[in-house]
A and B are shown apart, each in its own frame.
Chain A
Amino acid sequence: MPVLTLEGISQEFGGLRALDGVNMVVEEGEIFGIIGPNGAGKTTLFNIITGIYVPSEGDLIFKERRINRMATHNIARLGIGRTFQNIRLFNKLSVLDNVRVGSHGISRSGFFKSLLGLPSMLREEKEIKSRAEELLELVGLYDKKMEYADNLAYGEQRRLEIARALALKPSLLLLDEPAAGMNSGEKVELMKFIEQIRQEMKLTILLVEHDMSLVMTICERIAVLDYGRKIAEGPPEEIKNDERVIQSYLGVGA
């Protein structure tokens, strides 16, 4: 069953066509990679999927539901979590609160009820806290839960971003260059981690990444974007040998 379907998605920014008729189907449970040179439209695509941009043309379907014009926070609540190319944590909130903020969006009682401090509220708050702590345990940040996010090391901040996105209980997780700035050892760790959360949380993962070895290793299918157009799609071996991909992206002779 497809989790996410893009039908002829185009995005224009004042005459510039950042995306041009992109079709894509992401199946449940797979790790799907998007690659392409700088400016190919990868992050734009993420911004469309998460509702930051409304696509100029085309349809966006998440679990049989059209979400083109849905508000960003509602898309997040439907179960699409994401991380950012350049880390965007809430720096002046504690590590724990960063994760909790994500849970609050999907919790049953709203802001105003929560001010009343009803027993059901307190129970829910407790659940949210213990779930947040579980997630921190999973990413290995439990011991630092009271630190400001600001004070974490770079790699830890990346993991916290993932934990925060997971707090939304997403079924689809978008990772925007998760390996950026990591050394090769950290990249191996990251790949294991991505594989682990996919299985434990039954996730579908869509990732944008520049590191070819990482993409080729963990993705089951890959789409290649170039100047806003999808020029190829398929399993890693096929992409590696695709004539157009080699020409436009991997470089001649690669």
Chain B
Amino acid sequence: MFWEQLLNGLTLGSTYALIALGYTMVYGIVQLINFAHGEIYMFGAFAGLILVSFFGFNLIAAMLAAMLFCMLLGILVERIAYRPLRGKSSRLSALISAIGVSIFLSTLMALMAGTNTHRYPEVIAHQSYHLGSLDLSLMQILILAVSALLMIGLQFMVQKTRIGKAMRACSQDLDASYLMGINVNRVISFTFAVGSALAAAGGVMVGVYYNAVWPYMGMMAGLKAFAAAVMGGIGSIPGAMIGGLSLGIMEIMGVAYLSSSYKDAIAFGMLILVLLIRPQGLMGQKISKKV
């Protein structure tokens, strides 16, 4: 029972982690909470659904295409709604703009697709594997494997490649980055693209796993992932991964051992608890202000 629940928690948690990464990377560079990020995730789920249902894509191909689509969407959102404000107005305006984009995107989808819940056709065999006493479904394996692969890939990119170094430089000192010849706008676009692609992968997988896609699905998932990012220490990439996983595990454990009606209360209660003990989040750095 416990291991079963731990596995469920890890599965849910890795989807939170995928979304949380987008929040944390964007925050790390432009100090913006991109509230439209949950809607990007929702668009990813819909893009996958459309490709699978109407174009006969298989799950992996649909996921890759949805990631590509959301990359472009993420870049577009940044271009239209955030870049014009950058440097010219307060951070608060960008935040309000993000909330605006979030509402715009979810209602746009509601207009196009209706507010009903849509279901993925059967894209993956209902097969399960036994690992000792554990039951692993094929979809769970896929979620865990894809998430792990994406997170390892991301970590490699950030640590080893040129663009990753530029991203880290930008997150540490934006002005100095300009002066070192880094095309900061391009780095920011790239960051939005990567974060959006990860969210899209999460959206498609969650859509299939829970067999439900609807226009407002980004709201709660986005909030939870944001909570996970904050819990892990916003701005920290490993923090978002750990925050997402632990949030998923705690939520599932709460449901299993307490009551399912406390699901969301447990998630956000944990956030409050962590922040009371470690205000900078699990992996965040302590900021001591100069006086």
| A→B interface (CB under 8 Å) | 50-52, 71-74, 76-77, 81-82, 84, 88-93, 97, 100-102, 104-106, 111-112, 114-115, 125, 164-165, 167-168
- B interface, over-half SS: helix
When chains A and B are docked, how far (Å) is the Cα of A167 from the Cα of B179?
12
* Known contacts A73-B183, A73-B184: A93-B165 contact under CB 8 Å: yes
* Interface residues in B, total, Cβ within 8 A: 23
Which residues of B are found within 8 Å of A71, using beta-carbon distances? 178
A105 touches B181 (CB 8 A): yes
Interface centre among A52, A74, A101 (most CB of B within 10 A): A101
Interchain CA distance A74-B173 in the complex, whole Å: 17
Residues on B facing A (Cβ under 8 Å):
157, 161-163, 165-166, 168-169, 172-173, 175-184, 186-187, 190
Contact between A168 and B163, CB atoms less than 8 A apart: no
11 A–B contacts, CB within 8 A, in A order: A82-B179, A84-B176, A88-B173, A90-B169, A101-B165, A105-B181, A105-B182, A111-B162, A111-B163, A114-B162, A115-B157
B172 and A72 within 8 A (CB) = no
- Cβ-defined contact, A101 with B178, below 8 A: no
Chain B residues in 8 Å Cβ range of A74: 181
- Given A93-B172, A101-B169, check contact A111 B179 (CB 8 Å): no
* CB-based contact A72/B179 at 8 Å: yes
* Chain A residues near B166 (CB-CB < 8 A): 101, 104, 111
CA distance A89 to B180 in the complex (A): 11
Alpha-carbon gap, A71 to B181, bound state (A): 10
- Which secondary structure dominates where chain A touches chain B? helix
Greatest chain A CB density within 10 A among B162, B178, B180 is at B180
Contact of A111 among B168, B178, B186 (CB under 8 A): B186
Can you list the 8 inter-chain pairs with the closest CB atoms, starting with the nearest?
A: A105-B181, A76-B181, A72-B178, A111-B163, A114-B162, A77-B181, A88-B176, A90-B172
In angstroms, Cα B172 to Cα A73, docked, is: 16
A50 to B165, CA, bound (A): 22
**Given A52-B179, A102-B181, 20 extra CB contacts under 8 A:** A52-B178, A73-B184, A81-B179, A88-B173, A88-B176, A89-B176, A90-B169, A90-B176, A93-B165, A93-B172, A101-B165, A101-B169, A101-B182, A104-B181, A111-B162, A111-B186, A114-B161, A115-B157, A164-B180, A168-B180
Measured between alpha carbons, how far is A72 from B169 in the docked complex, in Å?
Answer: 16
C-alpha spacing A125/B176, complex, angstroms:
22
From the candidates B165, B176, B187, name the one contacting A100 in the complex (CB within 8 A). B165
Alpha-carbon separation in the docked complex, A112 to B183 (Å): 13
Q: Which of A52, A102, A114, A115 contacts B180 (CB 8 A)?
A: A102
* Distance A125 CA – B161 CA, assembled complex (angstroms): 10
Complex CA distance for A97 and B180, rounded to whole angstroms: 12
A93 to B161, CA, bound (A): 13
Indicate whether A90 sits within 8 Å of B163 (C-beta atoms), given known contacts A73-B183, A76-B181. no
**A104-B173 contact, Cβ under 8 Å, with A50-B179, A73-B182, A164-B180:** no
Please report the C-alpha to C-alpha distance between residue A50 and residue B172 in the assembled complex, in whole angstroms. Answer: 19
